[in-house]
A and B are shown apart, each in its own frame.
Chain A
Amino acid sequence: MAKTPVTFTLNGREAATFVDPAANLLDVLRRGLGDLSPKYGCGQGTCGACTVLIDGEPHLSCVTLAETIEGRTVETTNGLQDSAGLHPLQQAFMDGFAAQCGYCTPGMLMAAKALLDRNPSPSREEVIDAIAGNVCRCTGYEPIVDAILTAARAPRRTG
Protein backbone atom coordinates (compact mmCIF):
# COMPACT_ATOMS: atom_id res chain seq x y z
CA MET A 1 0.00 0.00 0.00
CA ALA A 2 1.72 3.12 -1.22
CA LYS A 3 2.06 5.85 1.34
CA THR A 4 1.96 9.55 0.67
CA PRO A 5 4.51 11.91 2.24
CA VAL A 6 2.94 14.89 3.99
CA THR A 7 4.74 17.90 5.42
CA PHE A 8 2.93 20.51 7.44
CA THR A 9 3.28 22.72 10.50
CA LEU A 10 1.96 21.22 13.72
CA ASN A 11 1.74 23.58 16.65
CA GLY A 12 4.50 25.77 15.25
CA ARG A 13 6.91 22.99 14.36
CA GLU A 14 7.48 21.25 11.08
CA ALA A 15 6.00 17.78 10.96
CA ALA A 16 6.62 15.23 8.23
CA THR A 17 5.13 11.80 7.97
CA PHE A 18 3.91 9.20 5.52
CA VAL A 19 0.18 8.59 5.45
CA ASP A 20 -1.87 5.66 4.18
CA PRO A 21 -4.16 6.45 1.27
CA ALA A 22 -7.52 7.73 2.53
CA ALA A 23 -6.16 8.04 6.08
CA ASN A 24 -7.90 10.73 8.10
CA LEU A 25 -6.02 13.50 9.86
CA LEU A 26 -7.12 12.35 13.32
CA ASP A 27 -5.40 8.98 12.90
CA VAL A 28 -2.30 10.61 11.49
CA LEU A 29 -2.05 13.07 14.39
CA ARG A 30 -2.68 10.45 17.04
CA ARG A 31 -0.96 7.31 15.80
CA GLY A 32 1.40 8.78 13.26
CA LEU A 33 2.69 11.76 15.23
CA GLY A 34 1.72 10.89 18.79
CA ASP A 35 -0.37 14.00 19.40
CA LEU A 36 -3.12 12.40 21.45
CA SER A 37 -4.99 15.58 22.31
CA PRO A 38 -7.64 15.37 19.56
CA LYS A 39 -10.12 12.59 20.38
CA TYR A 40 -12.18 10.12 18.41
CA GLY A 41 -15.85 10.43 19.25
CA CYS A 42 -17.78 9.59 16.11
CA GLY A 43 -15.68 9.35 12.95
CA GLN A 44 -18.45 11.15 11.10
CA GLY A 45 -18.06 14.82 11.94
CA THR A 46 -20.92 15.12 14.38
CA CYS A 47 -19.36 15.34 17.85
CA GLY A 48 -16.47 17.80 17.56
CA ALA A 49 -14.07 15.92 19.87
CA CYS A 50 -11.46 15.81 17.08
CA THR A 51 -11.63 19.55 16.30
CA VAL A 52 -8.28 21.06 15.25
CA LEU A 53 -7.43 24.34 13.59
CA ILE A 54 -6.20 24.25 10.01
CA ASP A 55 -4.81 27.61 8.90
CA GLY A 56 -6.64 29.07 11.89
CA GLU A 57 -10.07 27.70 11.03
CA PRO A 58 -11.77 24.90 12.97
CA HIS A 59 -11.85 21.57 11.14
CA LEU A 60 -12.95 18.08 12.09
CA SER A 61 -9.83 15.98 11.80
CA CYS A 62 -11.76 12.68 11.64
CA VAL A 63 -13.30 13.65 8.29
CA THR A 64 -10.26 15.48 6.92
CA LEU A 65 -8.33 13.54 4.29
CA ALA A 66 -4.84 13.61 5.78
CA GLU A 67 -2.98 14.34 2.56
CA THR A 68 -4.94 17.56 2.04
CA ILE A 69 -3.01 19.26 4.84
CA GLU A 70 0.22 19.32 2.83
CA GLY A 71 1.89 22.68 3.45
CA ARG A 72 -0.78 23.90 5.84
CA THR A 73 -0.74 24.82 9.51
CA VAL A 74 -2.41 22.63 12.13
CA GLU A 75 -3.02 23.55 15.75
CA THR A 76 -4.16 21.18 18.49
CA THR A 77 -4.74 21.44 22.22
CA ASN A 78 -1.30 19.93 22.67
CA GLY A 79 0.16 23.23 21.46
CA LEU A 80 -1.99 25.58 23.51
CA GLN A 81 0.34 25.62 26.45
CA ASP A 82 3.53 27.59 25.95
CA SER A 83 6.51 28.58 28.05
CA ALA A 84 4.37 31.28 29.67
CA GLY A 85 2.06 28.58 31.01
CA LEU A 86 -1.49 27.64 30.29
CA HIS A 87 -3.46 29.42 27.60
CA PRO A 88 -6.14 31.71 29.11
CA LEU A 89 -8.78 29.30 27.79
CA GLN A 90 -7.15 26.39 29.61
CA GLN A 91 -6.89 28.42 32.80
CA ALA A 92 -10.51 29.51 32.57
CA PHE A 93 -11.71 25.95 31.92
CA MET A 94 -9.75 24.84 34.96
CA ASP A 95 -10.93 27.57 37.28
CA GLY A 96 -14.52 27.40 36.07
CA PHE A 97 -15.07 23.64 36.34
CA ALA A 98 -15.67 23.59 32.59
CA ALA A 99 -14.73 19.93 32.21
CA GLN A 100 -16.02 16.79 33.81
CA CYS A 101 -14.88 13.67 31.98
CA GLY A 102 -12.54 15.78 29.86
CA TYR A 103 -13.08 13.92 26.61
CA CYS A 104 -14.78 16.73 24.70
CA THR A 105 -12.46 19.33 26.25
CA PRO A 106 -9.65 19.43 23.66
CA GLY A 107 -12.19 19.90 20.86
CA MET A 108 -14.05 22.54 22.85
CA LEU A 109 -10.81 24.42 23.50
CA MET A 110 -9.91 24.49 19.81
CA ALA A 111 -13.38 25.59 18.76
CA ALA A 112 -13.16 28.34 21.37
CA LYS A 113 -9.67 29.34 20.26
CA ALA A 114 -10.85 29.68 16.67
CA LEU A 115 -13.50 32.09 17.90
CA LEU A 116 -11.27 34.20 20.15
CA ASP A 117 -8.50 34.42 17.55
CA ARG A 118 -10.99 35.99 15.16
CA ASN A 119 -13.26 37.76 17.63
CA PRO A 120 -11.56 38.69 20.92
CA SER A 121 -14.74 40.02 22.56
CA PRO A 122 -17.54 37.68 21.58
CA SER A 123 -21.09 37.87 22.87
CA ARG A 124 -22.60 34.94 24.70
CA GLU A 125 -24.57 34.02 21.57
CA GLU A 126 -21.40 34.03 19.49
CA VAL A 127 -19.72 31.71 22.01
CA ILE A 128 -22.70 29.35 21.90
CA ASP A 129 -22.57 29.30 18.12
CA ALA A 130 -18.81 28.72 18.14
CA ILE A 131 -19.15 25.49 20.16
CA ALA A 132 -22.40 24.40 18.52
CA GLY A 133 -20.57 21.58 16.75
CA ASN A 134 -19.01 20.23 19.94
CA VAL A 135 -21.05 17.83 22.00
CA CYS A 136 -20.57 17.58 25.77
CA ARG A 137 -22.48 14.69 27.33
CA CYS A 138 -21.66 15.53 30.93
CA THR A 139 -23.94 18.50 30.11
CA GLY A 140 -21.54 21.19 31.14
CA TYR A 141 -22.32 23.73 28.44
CA GLU A 142 -23.04 26.59 30.82
CA PRO A 143 -19.68 26.48 32.62
CA ILE A 144 -17.96 26.00 29.25
CA VAL A 145 -19.63 29.12 27.81
CA ASP A 146 -18.81 31.02 31.01
CA ALA A 147 -15.18 29.89 30.85
CA ILE A 148 -14.78 31.03 27.24
CA LEU A 149 -16.22 34.42 28.11
CA THR A 150 -13.89 34.60 31.11
CA ALA A 151 -10.91 33.77 28.91
CA ALA A 152 -11.96 36.48 26.46
CA ARG A 153 -11.80 39.00 29.30
CA ALA A 154 -8.43 37.76 30.56
CA PRO A 155 -5.44 40.02 29.98
CA ARG A 156 -3.81 39.41 26.60
CA ARG A 157 -0.52 37.67 26.69
CA THR A 158 2.19 39.15 24.56
CA GLY A 159 4.22 37.12 22.12
Chain B
Amino acid sequence: MPSVATYATLAEAASAMTPTSRFLAGGTLVMRDVNYGDQGFDRIVRVPDPALKAITPDSGRISIGAGVTMAGILASRDLDFLWPAARAVGGPAIRSMATVGGNLFAPHPYGDLTTALLALDGVVHLSDSGQVPLDQFLVNRAGLVRSVSVIRPAGDAFRFHKVSRVKPKGASVLTIAAWLNRSAGRLSNVRIAYGAFAATPVRVTAVERALEGASLDQAGIAPALQAATDGLAPVDDALASGWYRAEIAPVYLRRVLLGEVR
Protein backbone atom coordinates (compact mmCIF):
# COMPACT_ATOMS: atom_id res chain seq x y z
CA MET B 1 0.00 0.00 0.00
CA PRO B 2 1.51 3.33 -0.97
CA SER B 3 2.13 5.91 1.73
CA VAL B 4 0.86 9.47 1.45
CA ALA B 5 3.03 12.56 1.94
CA THR B 6 1.43 16.01 2.08
CA TYR B 7 3.44 19.20 1.48
CA ALA B 8 2.52 22.85 1.89
CA THR B 9 4.05 24.04 -1.35
CA LEU B 10 4.80 22.66 -4.75
CA ALA B 11 8.49 23.48 -4.35
CA GLU B 12 8.73 21.37 -1.21
CA ALA B 13 6.91 18.55 -2.92
CA ALA B 14 9.21 18.77 -5.94
CA SER B 15 12.31 18.34 -3.82
CA ALA B 16 10.70 15.38 -2.03
CA MET B 17 9.78 13.44 -5.18
CA THR B 18 11.47 10.07 -5.63
CA PRO B 19 11.47 7.75 -8.66
CA THR B 20 8.67 5.75 -7.03
CA SER B 21 6.54 8.76 -6.05
CA ARG B 22 3.42 9.90 -7.87
CA PHE B 23 1.89 13.34 -7.54
CA LEU B 24 -1.83 13.26 -6.80
CA ALA B 25 -4.02 16.13 -7.94
CA GLY B 26 -7.67 15.25 -8.59
CA GLY B 27 -7.00 11.54 -8.09
CA THR B 28 -8.87 10.22 -11.11
CA LEU B 29 -5.71 8.73 -12.63
CA VAL B 30 -3.53 8.04 -9.59
CA MET B 31 -6.23 6.46 -7.42
CA ARG B 32 -7.20 4.17 -10.24
CA ASP B 33 -3.64 2.88 -10.29
CA VAL B 34 -3.65 2.52 -6.50
CA ASN B 35 -6.84 0.48 -6.66
CA TYR B 36 -5.43 -1.73 -9.40
CA GLY B 37 -2.21 -2.49 -7.53
CA ASP B 38 0.24 -0.54 -9.71
CA GLN B 39 3.65 -1.65 -8.47
CA GLY B 40 5.38 1.30 -10.13
CA PHE B 41 5.03 3.64 -7.18
CA ASP B 42 4.86 3.30 -3.40
CA ARG B 43 4.40 6.92 -2.41
CA ILE B 44 1.69 9.48 -3.12
CA VAL B 45 2.66 13.15 -2.89
CA ARG B 46 0.04 15.86 -2.61
CA VAL B 47 -0.07 19.63 -2.13
CA PRO B 48 -3.42 21.03 -0.94
CA ASP B 49 -2.26 24.59 -1.73
CA PRO B 50 -5.10 26.89 -2.87
CA ALA B 51 -2.57 28.85 -4.95
CA LEU B 52 -2.65 25.96 -7.43
CA LYS B 53 -6.29 26.77 -8.15
CA ALA B 54 -5.60 30.35 -9.26
CA ILE B 55 -6.86 31.66 -12.60
CA THR B 56 -4.91 34.80 -13.56
CA PRO B 57 -5.54 36.89 -16.69
CA ASP B 58 -2.43 38.59 -17.99
CA SER B 59 -2.83 40.90 -21.02
CA GLY B 60 -3.53 38.70 -24.04
CA ARG B 61 -2.93 35.47 -22.14
CA ILE B 62 -4.37 33.73 -19.10
CA SER B 63 -2.69 31.49 -16.54
CA ILE B 64 -4.61 28.49 -15.23
CA GLY B 65 -3.41 26.82 -12.03
CA ALA B 66 -2.61 23.10 -12.31
CA GLY B 67 -5.13 22.37 -9.55
CA VAL B 68 -8.06 24.01 -11.34
CA THR B 69 -10.70 21.36 -12.03
CA MET B 70 -12.83 21.04 -15.12
CA ALA B 71 -15.73 22.27 -12.97
CA GLY B 72 -13.51 25.19 -11.98
CA ILE B 73 -13.03 26.07 -15.65
CA LEU B 74 -16.78 25.84 -16.20
CA ALA B 75 -17.32 28.23 -13.27
CA SER B 76 -14.90 30.85 -14.61
CA ARG B 77 -16.17 33.48 -17.05
CA ASP B 78 -12.59 34.31 -17.94
CA LEU B 79 -12.21 30.78 -19.31
CA ASP B 80 -15.45 30.61 -21.28
CA PHE B 81 -13.52 29.75 -24.46
CA LEU B 82 -12.45 26.50 -22.73
CA TRP B 83 -15.95 25.49 -21.66
CA PRO B 84 -16.55 23.15 -24.61
CA ALA B 85 -13.25 21.40 -23.90
CA ALA B 86 -13.85 21.14 -20.14
CA ARG B 87 -17.36 19.85 -20.75
CA ALA B 88 -15.93 17.16 -23.02
CA VAL B 89 -14.08 15.58 -20.11
CA GLY B 90 -15.99 12.78 -18.35
CA GLY B 91 -19.28 13.28 -16.56
CA PRO B 92 -20.02 15.86 -13.84
CA ALA B 93 -18.31 13.82 -11.10
CA ILE B 94 -15.10 13.46 -13.08
CA ARG B 95 -15.25 17.16 -13.89
CA SER B 96 -15.44 18.12 -10.23
CA MET B 97 -12.28 16.09 -9.60
CA ALA B 98 -10.09 16.07 -12.71
CA THR B 99 -7.54 18.91 -12.91
CA VAL B 100 -5.79 20.85 -15.62
CA GLY B 101 -2.43 19.55 -14.42
CA GLY B 102 -3.62 15.96 -14.37
CA ASN B 103 -5.02 16.23 -17.87
CA LEU B 104 -1.52 16.95 -19.19
CA PHE B 105 -0.51 13.48 -17.95
CA ALA B 106 -3.65 11.61 -19.03
CA PRO B 107 -2.86 8.59 -21.20
CA HIS B 108 -4.39 8.04 -24.63
CA PRO B 109 -7.29 8.40 -25.47
CA TYR B 110 -7.74 10.99 -22.72
CA GLY B 111 -6.43 14.54 -22.75
CA ASP B 112 -9.20 16.49 -24.49
CA LEU B 113 -8.44 19.65 -22.52
CA THR B 114 -4.74 19.31 -23.29
CA THR B 115 -5.61 19.25 -26.98
CA ALA B 116 -7.35 22.60 -26.56
CA LEU B 117 -4.43 24.04 -24.56
CA LEU B 118 -2.04 22.87 -27.26
CA ALA B 119 -3.90 24.80 -29.94
CA LEU B 120 -3.93 27.87 -27.68
CA ASP B 121 -0.13 28.06 -27.53
CA GLY B 122 -0.01 26.49 -24.07
CA VAL B 123 3.10 27.10 -22.01
CA VAL B 124 3.74 24.91 -18.98
CA HIS B 125 5.07 26.60 -15.86
CA LEU B 126 6.91 24.12 -13.68
CA SER B 127 7.48 24.04 -9.94
CA ASP B 128 11.01 25.35 -10.35
CA SER B 129 9.76 28.49 -12.13
CA GLY B 130 10.99 27.09 -15.43
CA GLN B 131 8.63 27.12 -18.37
CA VAL B 132 8.35 24.98 -21.46
CA PRO B 133 6.06 25.02 -24.49
CA LEU B 134 3.30 22.45 -24.08
CA ASP B 135 4.17 20.51 -27.24
CA GLN B 136 7.71 20.03 -25.92
CA PHE B 137 6.43 19.16 -22.45
CA LEU B 138 4.26 16.37 -23.87
CA VAL B 139 7.30 14.55 -25.25
CA ASN B 140 8.49 13.47 -21.79
CA ARG B 141 5.77 14.74 -19.45
CA ALA B 142 8.18 15.19 -16.56
CA GLY B 143 8.14 17.54 -13.61
CA LEU B 144 5.54 19.07 -11.33
CA VAL B 145 3.29 21.57 -13.05
CA ARG B 146 2.35 24.81 -11.36
CA SER B 147 0.17 26.28 -14.11
CA VAL B 148 -0.45 26.46 -17.82
CA SER B 149 -0.79 29.74 -19.65
CA VAL B 150 -2.67 30.08 -22.93
CA ILE B 151 -3.75 32.69 -25.43
CA ARG B 152 -7.16 34.26 -24.83
CA PRO B 153 -8.65 33.85 -28.27
CA ALA B 154 -10.81 36.58 -29.74
CA GLY B 155 -14.30 36.08 -31.14
CA ASP B 156 -14.77 32.69 -32.79
CA ALA B 157 -11.06 32.19 -33.46
CA PHE B 158 -10.97 29.12 -31.23
CA ARG B 159 -12.77 25.94 -32.32
CA PHE B 160 -13.02 22.63 -30.47
CA HIS B 161 -14.72 19.40 -31.40
CA LYS B 162 -14.62 15.94 -29.88
CA VAL B 163 -15.70 12.87 -31.83
CA SER B 164 -16.91 10.05 -29.59
CA ARG B 165 -19.11 7.04 -30.08
CA VAL B 166 -21.06 7.39 -26.86
CA LYS B 167 -22.80 10.67 -26.15
CA PRO B 168 -22.78 12.80 -24.15
CA LYS B 169 -19.91 11.09 -22.38
CA GLY B 170 -17.53 8.87 -24.26
CA ALA B 171 -13.80 8.55 -24.73
CA SER B 172 -12.45 10.33 -27.75
CA VAL B 173 -11.99 8.83 -31.18
CA LEU B 174 -10.59 12.13 -32.39
CA THR B 175 -10.48 15.56 -30.80
CA ILE B 176 -9.70 18.61 -32.89
CA ALA B 177 -8.79 22.02 -31.52
CA ALA B 178 -8.01 24.97 -33.75
CA TRP B 179 -6.89 28.51 -33.05
CA LEU B 180 -7.66 30.35 -36.27
CA ASN B 181 -5.69 33.55 -35.94
CA ARG B 182 -6.42 35.96 -38.78
CA SER B 183 -4.47 38.85 -40.15
CA ALA B 184 -6.04 41.10 -42.80
CA GLY B 185 -8.71 38.51 -43.53
CA ARG B 186 -6.17 35.75 -44.09
CA LEU B 187 -5.23 32.93 -41.72
CA SER B 188 -1.92 33.57 -40.07
CA ASN B 189 0.07 31.59 -37.48
CA VAL B 190 -2.85 29.25 -36.85
CA ARG B 191 -2.46 26.32 -34.47
CA ILE B 192 -4.18 23.00 -34.99
CA ALA B 193 -4.06 20.07 -32.53
CA TYR B 194 -5.43 16.55 -32.54
CA GLY B 195 -6.25 14.55 -29.43
CA ALA B 196 -6.70 10.76 -29.25
CA PHE B 197 -4.87 10.48 -32.55
CA ALA B 198 -1.33 9.71 -31.41
CA ALA B 199 0.16 8.66 -28.07
CA THR B 200 -0.32 12.20 -26.74
CA PRO B 201 -2.22 15.21 -28.08
CA VAL B 202 -0.19 16.57 -31.00
CA ARG B 203 0.12 19.70 -33.09
CA VAL B 204 -0.56 19.15 -36.77
CA THR B 205 2.14 21.31 -38.29
CA ALA B 206 1.48 20.20 -41.88
CA VAL B 207 -2.07 21.53 -41.62
CA GLU B 208 -0.86 24.70 -39.90
CA ARG B 209 1.56 25.37 -42.78
CA ALA B 210 -1.08 24.64 -45.41
CA LEU B 211 -3.41 27.18 -43.79
CA GLU B 212 -0.83 29.97 -43.68
CA GLY B 213 -2.22 32.87 -45.68
CA ALA B 214 -5.27 30.90 -46.75
CA SER B 215 -8.82 32.17 -46.72
CA LEU B 216 -11.23 30.33 -44.43
CA ASP B 217 -13.48 28.84 -47.07
CA GLN B 218 -13.90 25.60 -48.96
CA ALA B 219 -11.24 26.41 -51.55
CA GLY B 220 -8.84 27.99 -49.12
CA ILE B 221 -8.72 25.01 -46.78
CA ALA B 222 -8.50 22.36 -49.49
CA PRO B 223 -4.68 21.99 -49.25
CA ALA B 224 -4.97 21.71 -45.46
CA LEU B 225 -7.47 18.88 -45.77
CA GLN B 226 -5.04 17.13 -48.13
CA ALA B 227 -2.41 17.40 -45.42
CA ALA B 228 -4.79 16.41 -42.60
CA THR B 229 -2.71 13.45 -41.44
CA ASP B 230 0.71 14.27 -42.88
CA GLY B 231 3.54 13.37 -40.58
CA LEU B 232 1.25 11.60 -38.12
CA ALA B 233 0.88 7.92 -37.30
CA PRO B 234 -2.65 7.41 -36.00
CA VAL B 235 -2.97 4.78 -33.28
CA ASP B 236 -5.19 1.72 -33.04
CA ASP B 237 -7.21 1.18 -29.91
CA ALA B 238 -10.42 -0.49 -28.81
CA LEU B 239 -12.48 2.49 -29.95
CA ALA B 240 -11.16 2.91 -33.48
CA SER B 241 -8.40 1.74 -35.75
CA GLY B 242 -5.69 4.07 -36.93
CA TRP B 243 -7.08 3.68 -40.42
CA TYR B 244 -10.48 4.92 -39.25
CA ARG B 245 -8.93 7.86 -37.45
CA ALA B 246 -7.01 8.83 -40.58
CA GLU B 247 -10.18 8.57 -42.67
CA ILE B 248 -12.28 10.81 -40.45
CA ALA B 249 -9.58 13.39 -39.69
CA PRO B 250 -10.01 15.45 -42.90
CA VAL B 251 -13.81 15.22 -42.61
CA TYR B 252 -13.91 16.64 -39.12
CA LEU B 253 -11.10 19.06 -39.84
CA ARG B 254 -13.21 20.57 -42.60
CA ARG B 255 -16.24 20.83 -40.35
CA VAL B 256 -14.21 22.46 -37.59
CA LEU B 257 -12.51 24.93 -39.93
CA LEU B 258 -15.74 25.92 -41.66
CA GLY B 259 -17.63 26.12 -38.39
CA GLU B 260 -20.02 23.31 -39.28
CA VAL B 261 -19.59 21.83 -35.82
CA ARG B 262 -18.96 23.67 -32.62
Asked if A and B form a direct contact in the complex, defined as CB atoms under 8 angstroms apart, the reply is yes
Decide yes or no whether A132 CB sits under 8 A from chain B: yes
Set B3, B32, B90, B93: member contacting A43, Cβ < 8 A: B32
Selected interface stretch from B23-31, B60-68, B183-191, B212-220:
B23-31
A24 touches B35 (CB 8 A): yes
Residues of A within 8 A of B1 (CB): 1, 20-22
A32 to B196, CA, bound (A): 39
Decide yes or no whether A134 CB sits under 8 A from chain B: yes
Decide yes or no whether A65 CB sits under 8 A from chain B: yes
Size class of B's contact patch? 20 to 34
Given contacts A1-B1, A24-B31, contact A44 B168 (CB under 8 A): no
Q: With both chains docked as a complex, state the minimum distance between the C-beta of A80 and any C-beta of chain B, in angstroms.
A: 17
B96 touches A22 (CB 8 A): no
A24 touches B34 (CB 8 A): yes
Decide yes or no whether A75 CB sits under 8 A from chain B: no
A48 touches B91 (CB 8 A): yes
Decide yes or no whether A62 CB sits under 8 A from chain B: yes
A24 to B94, CA, bound (A): 15
A62 touches B31 (CB 8 A): yes
Residues of B within 8 A of A151 (CB): none
Decide yes or no whether A150 CB sits under 8 A from chain B: no
Decide yes or no whether A15 CB sits under 8 A from chain B: no
Query: Which residues of B pack against A, CB within 8 Å?
Result: 1-4, 24, 27-28, 31-32, 34-36, 44, 46, 48, 71, 90-94, 96-97, 168-169
Interface pairs (30), CB distance under 8 Å: A22-B1, A22-B2, A22-B34, A22-B44, A24-B31, A43-B32, A45-B31, A45-B94, A48-B91, A48-B93, A51-B93, A58-B91, A58-B96, A59-B93, A62-B35, A63-B27, A63-B31, A63-B35, A64-B27, A64-B31, A68-B46, A111-B91, A111-B93, A115-B92, A132-B91, A132-B168, A132-B169, A133-B92, A133-B169, A134-B91
